[in-house]
Structure 1
Amino acid sequence: MNINEQLAKELGIKLEQVDATVKLIDEGNTIPFIARYRKEVTGSLNDEVLRNLFERLTYLRNLEDRKASVLAS
């Protein structure tokens, strides 16, 4: 299970919504900008869900990086 699938399952939202939101975040868009101006892209996710997704995404990516560095050493 990849990170996006895990986020969709944990947050109870569609995988397509997660994929679109992660893409917007990776492009450098802020959560308030996404919540206000990109509702059509995210499927109208509210700012609370977006914030939870962002925090969880950051945590899971950091965890993956940490796992990789531990396994490499």
Structure 2
Amino acid sequence: MPLSFCGAALLALVAYDVYATILHSRARVGPISSALSRSIWRVARLVSSRRSRQSRHIFLSALGPTLPSASLRRFRPWHKWPS
């Protein structure tokens, strides 16, 4: 029974995240999308910390537009559809 509750809670969280990220009329980010974007940004800043200022700026500027697509990609199923 507790496992069913955890599964239902996880589905509810994902449904809310999809609603807040995609369907909500205001520019809002859901809790999963926010955590994913923050973690990607932290890793990118860590990787770019040893670069020169200009190189770091270029790297982080190129990474910014990939964050929304990373948020949308996480909803893609992991298995391949039958052809």
TM over 0.5: no
**What TM-score, normalized to structure 2?**
0.31
User: What is the TM-score with the length of structure 1 in the denominator?
Assistant: 0.35
Q: Quick check: which one's helix share is greater?
A: 1
Structure whose CA Rg is larger: 2
Greater RCO structure (CA 8 Å; 6+ sep): 1
